[in-house]
Amino acid sequence: MISTKTDTRRRMRRDLEKGKFNQKVRELEEEAYRIQGIYDATKLQASSAVDAANIYKDVLDTLNQAKNFTQQAQISSALARKVGKGKKEKAKESRQKSEQIQQQASELEDSTANELKQRQAGLQQRVDALLPQLEKTVHEYNQLNLSKDDNLAELDKISEQSDTAHNSLLPLNDTFSQLKPAIVDADIRVKQLIDSNVDLSQSTESAKDQIKEVEKEIPESKKAWEEVKLRLDNTSSLVEECRSKLALLKEKIAVARDKANRIKLGAHFEKGSVLELPVAQHSDDFGAYTQIRLFFRTREDNGILLYFGNDNARIAGEFIAIELENGRPKLTLNFGRDAVSAVLEVPVNDFHWREVIVERVGKRATIRVTKPRSDEFADEQTIIAPGAKSVLNFFDDSRRLFVGGVPAGFKIPSSIHQHSFVGDLDKLRLNGELIGFWNSEKAVHISGAEMRTLLDEERNAESGVSFNGKGYMQLGVGSWNPRKKTAIMLSFFTYSPDGLLFFVGFERDQLVLELIDGRISLSFDLGSGLAKLLSNEGNYNDGKWHNVHINRVERQAKLEIDGKDVTEGESPGSLFEMSVSDSFYVVDCPEILRPGSHKAKATKGVQSSCLNKEVRVVSLISERSHAQFTGLNVDKQIELSLRFRTTQPSAHLATVMIADEEVVKIDIESAFLVVRSNGEDSELIKAELSTRMAGHWHYVSVVRNKNTLKMHLDDVFSEEVKAGDVSDVINSNDVVLIFGHSSSSETPGNFIGCIGDVIYNGKLLSFAESTFNEVKLTGCTIGGVPITSTTGEGKGHSPDDPESAFKAGNGASTAAGTGLLPSTSVSASSNVRPEGSCALPEVSHGEREDSHGIRFGLAAGSRLEFDRPPDSFDRNIVFSVQLRATAANGIIMFVTNEKHSDYMALYMQDGKIFFSFGSGTAQLTIQGKQSLLDDEWHSVRAEREGTVAALFIDGRPEAENQTEGTELIDAQPPLYIGGLPTDLVPFASRILPGVKSEFGGCLRDFKLNDKKFDDTGRELGTVSCAQYTENGIYFAKDGGYAIINPQFVVGQSFSFELEIKPRTKNAVLLSVGKLEFLTLQILNGTVKFSVDNGAGVESVIFEPTADNLICDGHWHQIKLYKKKNLITLNVDGKSNLKIMKKKSATDASTKDPLYLGGVPKDIKLKGLDTVEPYIGCVRILSIGKKTRKRSSPPTSTSVDLSEMTLFGSVERNSCPLN
């Protein structure tokens, strides 16, 4: 009984404990699953948030602490500098402290991140350890259900294991409780992000609705825009039509004036007659020299033949007048103070034709009169004006020229007693220029005179015609038939090296005779291709007469000059007839030898004579320019007068030498004119040049006698000083006068500019009789703008026919019409670099001849800006330029508008010339066939006529194409040459990809529509083409290297910035270290930066789009950075970086020489893929912590390299530009 109850209680107890145990196991199992679910969800959703929260907090605290330390270090450093600039040690300590704090911050950041990672890894390990225990518990529970008859001891053991598992999970639960706020915060942020996405979605939907509304309005807007565009096109067409009509009207007026000016009929005058004539020449042409020639006859004793002076002569007081007084010629001259007169003795009132000639040279004036119907002089007299003044100061807007009488209201000077003239006048010439009586400003009671019989000298002179460089003569073809055969004979003389002589043709067919750089060129095109013949000899612009004979029979042509220089050629293709219009054109200064020449249909800028004129004005175009007169005489004193024009603040102007001694020397020094005698500073006169006259003409007169020196400047300054006795050399027949060059070492620089009207001891000198180098004898071209041409010659311009029959532009270089250009092979220069090679040669050319022009590309944004181009360019354009390139790509000419909708551009890319233009509807680009990277000058001509574009190089057609777009280009000034401003670079880079914003090289003689730029424009960052060097370190082809630092330590951090302009595609740039090293190399055009910290080499490479991009002739900037395991290479703003292997050390242990440009041949260094030395230029901008200020342009090395050691062919401070 008792045993039964006991068994019953045991079973009940066992069942009860078993039930509790099962319940407990179930609870533990549910808790385990719950914890595991929480952990998995937390691990998936909150791991990043937790890590971010904790890491961000720790890093933020660390960075704030580092920032505070750094700010404290900066404050300490600033206080140290404020206390005393000389306390370098304290500044050094502050810097070291700042660096230590920064390093501590970096180390703290790294240690904090590592600690967090370790905590995360430990937590993961604990969870991974618990999961097997939970799985084991579940397994045992399953076994328990299967074996209910197990003993209580086993259940107790299981219970203990469950308790142990539960106790093990408690810390984990606490950990997740601590993480719960961060999880909640992450959840809030996620909700905020979702809300923001909802707002963004709503905004997107709203934007879509608005876009739909805009799309609905587009058709109406497009229709309105088309209407506006149509009206704009109509307006533009009207404007263009008005421009064309206005240009045609101006041309007709010019032709009519020229025709009236060439009427060979004298004028008859009575009392009250007045004839005022226009003067085309500039007033400066009369300042130092004046020549007047006039035929007259009369029966009267008194009268006025001519008055030439300012409007209100009583106030201005400067004039020349020719009168008759008591039947005798009288000359009156006034320089503004006292009038001086001369009266000839011979009576001239017998009504016979005579010529009166007045020639004034400075203060000295001579009047001559010829015998009746003869060119022999009957009498002459010379006068010298009193005082120091010697310049006639006329003004273009107020000067007046009267012949045969003056109007009643004109205030004539009191020294002139006559007001009218009765008789006949004929053939007035002013400084050699014919001024016709029937092209007058004002004519009162003027009638024609009886025809005068020409003298033999006149008849000979009028057998030819002369041109002013901007004119032409249109002659009718008549019965002459040059279609199959063309025979032409003409003679010419000129000082101009370039010009158009003859043209005949129609549309594409043409025959053109030109003067190109002093050589005769014959070009003819019969419709199937252009043929060009060039004379074997040059220098046909020597001021002597030359005979030219052209004989063409169908496709065969022969060019003969002076009977000995013969060239023959044949036109390509099969066409043999030349289409011609009803006219042909003669230009420059020819005398047509073909008998029976037709009468001219139209002329412009033509004179019916070819008199040999004095070369009074010349241009010295480079620092090598000079002109020299020898064999001059001196007796008692030297008297030298001249006028000059320049923009140079300092230059040597002239020297008078006797027996190798500088008796007189004239210099410009810092905008002062300085005259010295005998090279002594104690014997000098110094006068300031007026700033308002900068770039204008100045007049100077110097007198040196036995013991005094005098100078007069611009008729406003006059000074005299005592000078050393030169009586031993003052009498000589071997005086040398030199302009623009001096052998003295103290010369401020050679003169570049214009010199004119040189008067030596009362005689006007002609530069045609001098020996000269790089001197233009065709007038003043200062700044590339023609000022005046006193010789009557100039570069030939295309005739502008009023009937538009002649459209050839500048000779053979233009194909008239819009047909396709003939295919012409272009012979490449032997110096042209092969395709894909570097732009600059390995060996520099150094100084070269013919280097006048403007150099671009030495500074960022170097360019010329023209706000007032010489002609319009919206529909048609002809832009020509001469260039000598030193870089493979760059802008030559560019123009657009404010909206950047339309543009035109002439540019170079990969050494070839491109011409491109575009509007909103179409774009067209054509390119030349050959590279111009051959170190020579080339002429480039780009033409656009409506939708057709053509490109010519060196007179040869290179490309032509046509677009279907609009004919009108809406382009507006400014017009840029040689480069672009910063704000246009993004636009140009988009439409002209790969093209540099600056041209590298020299440009000159740029013209728009064959017109030179009247405005000199704004020059930004340009220099003279005669400059051959720039700042930098130059490594020549012979090889060499430099040691920047003999014991350079790279360490953990390293930075190096430099600029390079290489001439090779493989070279060593930098190298330091033997076992552990750092190198910078150029390998087949790529840039490679390599570092070895001891665990193997790590490299980062810059690969350009072309292997010659790095050596394209422009400067390229390279930046190297190494900070611990991070290395960075930046080339021209494009960066590549690499993180080195973690197992490698952070510093490169080097204490070796830092080589630049190469390495010694006997030393083998690791990390070098090539040992070829660098060829080209280098500028070091910074090393280590020494960074260059961004505000200062990199015109020179910003690092002190005076201690740098050079080996081999290396120059420290001079880089050649070519």
User: Which residue is it, tokens 């004034």?
Assistant: 360
16-53 tens-digit pLDDT: 566 666 776 677 667 666 666 655 555 554 454 445 44
**691: helix, coil or strand?**
helix
Q: Which CATH number fits domain 267-454: 3.30.70.60, 3.40.640.10, 3.30.750.24, 2.60.120.200?
A: 2.60.120.200
- Cβ distance 776 to 601 under 8 Å? no
Average pLDDT value for the chain: 78
Q: What is the mean pLDDT of residues 102-118?
A: 56
Q: Domain 617-784 adopts which CATH fold?
A: Jelly Rolls (2.60.120)
1029 CB-side CA count, 13 A: 12
DSSP label at residue 1173: P
Q: What is the mean pLDDT of residues 80-97?
A: 49
- Cβ distance 469 to 789 under 8 Å? yes
Given a cut of 60, whether residue 118 has pLDDT beyond it is yes
CB-CB neighbours of 47 under 10 Å: 13
pLDDT for the residue 745: 63
For 423, the token pair is: 């008789």
**730: helix, coil or strand?**
coil
For 309, the token pair is: 């002076």
Residue in 1211, 800, 805, 843 with CA at minimum distance from that of residue 1033:
1211
For 874, the token pair is: 């919206």
- Residue 423 CA to its chain's centroid (Å): 60
| Strand 328-335 with 339-343, pairing | antiparallel
Q: Is 1210 exposed, middle or buried (0-12, 13-18, 19+ CB in 10 A)?
A: buried
For 377, the token pair is: 């002089």
Given a cut of 60, whether residue 413 has pLDDT beyond it is yes
pLDDT for the residue 1149: 65
Point out the least confidently predicted range of 297-301, 608-612, 927-931: 608-612
Query: Which residues have a Cβ under 8 Å from the Cβ of 233 and sit 6 or more positions away?
Result: 966, 968
Domain 818-1024, architecture per CATH: Sandwich (2.60)
d(CA 830, CA 524): 27
- Cβ distance 1056 to 1070 under 8 Å? yes
For 198, the token pair is: 């909802």
146-191 tens-digit pLDDT: 554 555 565 566 567 656 666 666 666 666 667 667 777 766 776 6
For 863, the token pair is: 């360019």
d(CA 977, CA 958): 22
Point out the least confidently predicted range of 579-588, 646-655, 812-821: 812-821
Residue in 715, 710, 686, 684 with CA at minimum distance from that of residue 698:
715
Given a cut of 80, whether residue 411 has pLDDT beyond it is yes
1078-1129 tens-digit pLDDT: 999 999 999 999 988 877 888 999 999 888 899 999 999 999 998 888 889 9
**665: helix, coil or strand?**
strand
What letter represents residue 290's amino acid? Answer: T
244-277 tens-digit pLDDT: 777 777 777 777 766 666 677 889 999 999 999 9
Residue in 1001, 983, 988, 986 with CA at minimum distance from that of residue 883:
1001
Annotate 58-107 with DSSP letters as a single string. Answer: HHHHHHHHHHHHHHHHHHHHHHHHHH-TT-HHHHHHHHHHHHHHHHHHHH
d(CA 107, CA 295): 104
Highest mean pLDDT among 87-96, 230-239, 991-1000: 991-1000
Residue in 754, 866, 743, 769 with CA at minimum distance from that of residue 543:
769
CB-CB neighbours of 128 under 10 Å: 9
Query: Which residues have a Cβ under 8 Å from the Cβ of 242 and sit 6 or more positions away?
Result: none
Point out the least confidently predicted range of 68-72, 959-963, 1147-1151: 68-72
Domain with CATH 2.60.120.200 in the chain: 267-454, 466-607, 617-784, 818-1024, 1029-1216
Point out the least confidently predicted range of 326-340, 742-756, 983-997: 742-756
pLDDT for the residue 1014: 72
Q: Which CATH number fits domain 1029-1216: 2.40.50.100, 2.60.120.200, 3.80.10.10, 3.30.479.30?
A: 2.60.120.200
Given a cut of 80, whether residue 233 has pLDDT beyond it is no
902-936 tens-digit pLDDT: 899 999 999 999 999 988 777 889 999 889 998 89
Given a cut of 50, whether residue 1147 has pLDDT beyond it is yes
For 443, the token pair is: 């004519």
782-802 tens-digit pLDDT: 754 444 433 333 333 334 443
Q: What is the mean pLDDT of residues 756-779?
A: 88
d(CA 857, CA 861): 8
Q: Domain 466-607 adopts which CATH fold?
A: Jelly Rolls (2.60.120)
Q: How many residues in the chain?
A: 1218
More confident residue, 968 or 7: 968
